Structure 1
């Protein structure tokens, strides 16, 4: 399904009244839930071919017309929809296509996952600021990834959300990877294989392995088949704290190290260092605080890490210190057209 041909809206002009600006910020939790409702009901998919009356949308989704009308009116002020009050109809606005189900820049799966896994834990952020225990542990009674692994549906939803985020915000970074001389890549924490499949499609000579926990990487073979790279990219299950596949020319980790604190990152880097020969390359696709085309994304994700995990987003200095102290020489940090950066390093 193709996304509508519409240009991104200009950022809204900040209200001149500070109280009005603060009111918008304070209401953010309500907007998140409204976005979850329309994403879950697939309202945007219904409007892909053109406007509909609100009662038609309500019948198709099983939602009540009057509360739906009010939600749509609110989200129209956020550029997701365009409302015609006289006709009582609704159409997609400039941001609407980002919640379609099957587009390269869709964030629908992320909208579902964040509300189903992240929303409740953030009620405990006050506690986190006092004891430094992630809010998710206060909510679930265990580390987030342990809770996630208890239900296959949670794992599938999380993997889908991370895949959609990769397509939407990591695409430019993956396209900018300099794989000159690389014959084999191991994607450490590669989940369902979305990232390595995208890289392999652009580099037909490349071979690789998607490596992740067995219950996570189980989804990768089907995706690799659909991408027509399964003849060159295989999968392997394991724990990157215990070891990673050896002998590759390069190791790729997309948005992995930001999940973990420095001590845990050192353990992951140690396993990669053990598996890699001197001179092997390491590519990290991560945010770099204060850098990139959309530095606000890094700040938002840093808050996400604070609430959900032990990790954090890092500055250039942080990355240099982390990698340099664990057997890797940083060769460069490349900003891309998107919010992610590519950190290139060499195994010493």
Structure 2
């Protein structure tokens, strides 16, 4: 037990200054400028197009936060932590913190968290004048950045998904709301007998189609512009929803699952890839994001089971993939297959 005063402990957990200082530095790409040689205060201010004295004050706080250090000559040098803010670092967190990006903008809406807790509603529109999806879909740059971030977040779980079960029997995989197509391409590429269809709004669908062509999968993967609230391409063996249902309230989530159930082949299944509150312990932060950004929510296994039942599906298996991801598998109620129940796979 520490002897620090209670106020100090609370301040460490509630500090807004340090996180904002790091986010501003990420937005200004200060780590990239330092790595490129702008190590003096004057050179760094010039590269970032900011006021030098104000930047100096920001950098002094970041030294205290352990993100940069000052050399004896007065130059800035990145610490090991600061290196993770470089864009070319494989473990970079810069884009997630960029205040001008979709996730950074969403996080700034947390300053209105009190209103979300009081009302149970998203505050994103009250902060920015329109809802999260309306803003992202209306701005090609925000949309592309969002799809890139989602693709990056899937890198850790792709091997587990590809290795899961017997994909050899899947002739047609439909990735619903598939964004950049990274996930669909990874599975199809590993199974030569499989073809894939991605369904998303026109911008992401067009980008995914180009990506399929670029990586040599244009003859096996197609991208269809559409909404998961509308009729989906039919007779897929698997309909995959990756980080989709958590964005929506129960009514909309049931609508999405119903569209998948309507289109599903008789012996097919619906796979939902996202975190579960009673499986992963690290998704409570994301749950609050869904409240503030979107009126969405994370769910438990039993809550997923109820959504499926309302859409004519029964929960067949749940597999913990780690990295805040579970794979929830549904089969049609009329399939006659015995469900393993909500605890399957754990």
TM-score range, shorter chain: 0.7 to 0.9
Higher relative contact order (CA 8 A, sep 6+): 1
State the shift of 1:247 in Å. Answer: 1.6
Map 1:35-184; keep pairs closer than 5 Å. Answer: 35-46=22-33, 52-76=39-63, 81-102=67-88, 104-112=90-98, 113-114=101-102, 117-167=105-155, 170-171=157-158, 173-178=160-165, 179-184=167-172
Q: SS at 2:236's partner residue?
A: coil
Q: SS at 2:266's partner residue?
A: coil
Q: SS at 1:33's partner residue?
A: helix
Return the match for 1:338 from 323, 326, 333. Answer: 323
8 Å contact kept, 1:14–1:21: no
Q: What residue is the counterpart of 2:303 in the other structure? A: 318
Q: What residue is the counterpart of 1:192 in the other structure? A: 180
Bigger radius of gyration, 1 or 2?
A: 2
1:237 counterpart = 2:225? yes
Q: SS at 2:317's partner residue?
A: strand
Q: What residue is the counterpart of 1:9 in the other structure? A: none
Quick one: structure 1 residues 224 and 52, their matched pair in 2 at CA, closer, same or farther if it must change by over 3 Å?
farther
State the shift of 1:265 in Å. Answer: 0.7
Following TM superposition, the consecutive aligned residue runs of length 4 or more in structure 1 with deviations greater than 6 angstroms are none
Measured against aligned partners, the alpha-carbon deviations of 1:181-234 in whole angstroms (never above 9, x if no partner) come to 222211100112122223334444432111111233222123333443333211
Q: SS at 1:192's partner residue?
A: coil
State the shift of 1:86 in Å. Answer: 2.4
8 Å contact kept, 2:41–2:56: yes
Return the match for 1:249 from 237, 240, 243. Answer: 237
Map 1:260-299; keep pairs closer than 5 Å. Answer: 260-292=248-280, 295-296=281-282, 298-299=283-284
Quick one: structure 1 residues 63 and 143, their matched pair in 2 at CA, closer, same or farther if it must change by over 3 Å?
closer
State the shift of 1:89 in Å. Answer: 3.6
Q: TM-score, normalised by structure 1?
A: 0.82
State the shift of 1:85 in Å. Answer: 4.3
8 Å contact kept, 2:173–2:197: yes
Q: SS at 1:218's partner residue?
A: helix
Q: SS at 1:317's partner residue?
A: helix
State the shift of 1:55 in Å. Answer: 4.6
Q: TM-score, normalised by structure 2?
A: 0.82
Aligned length: 330
Q: Which moved more, 1:149-158 or 1:45-54?
A: 45-54
State the shift of 1:315 in Å. Answer: 1.4
Q: Which moved more, 1:100-109 or 1:209-218?
A: 100-109
Distance 1:248 1:51 in 2: 53
Q: What residue is the counterpart of 2:21 in the other structure? A: 34
8 Å contact kept, 1:192–1:219: yes
5+ residue gaps in structure 1?
1-12
